[in-house]
Amino acid sequence: MIIAIDGPAGSGKSTIARAVAEKLGFYFLNTGSFYRAYTLSALDRGIDPLDRDRVLDNAEHISITVDDGDICIDGKNEEQRLHTPSVDAYCSQVSSDPRIRELVNKAARKIAENMDIVTEGRDTTTVIFPNADYKFYFDATAEVRAKRRCKDQSTLDFQTVLESIRQRDKMDMEKATGALKIASDAIYIDTSLLTINQVCEKVIQTLKVTL
Binding-site annotation: residue ranges: 7-15
CA nearest 130: which of 201, 192, 178, 193?
A: 178
| HSE toward the beta carbon, residue 97, CA cutoff 13 A | 21
- Known binding residues for ATP are 7-15
Contact in structure between 136 and 203 (CB atoms under 8 Å): yes
Instruction: Give dist(CA 163, CA 157) in Å, integer.
Output: 10
Instruction: Give dist(CA 73, CA 159) in Å, integer.
Output: 32
CA nearest 58: which of 43, 77, 68, 72?
A: 43
- Partners of 29 in beta bridges: 119
Instruction: Give dist(CA 123, CA 183) in Å, integer.
Output: 9
Which amino acid does the sequence have at 122?
Answer: R
Our measurement of the distance from residue 70's CA atom to the centroid of its chain's CA atoms, rounded to an integer in Å, reads 12
CA nearest 24: which of 133, 97, 148, 125?
A: 133
Which DSSP string do the residues of 69-97 spell out, in sequence order?
A: TEEEETTEE-GGGTTSHHHHHHHHHHHT-
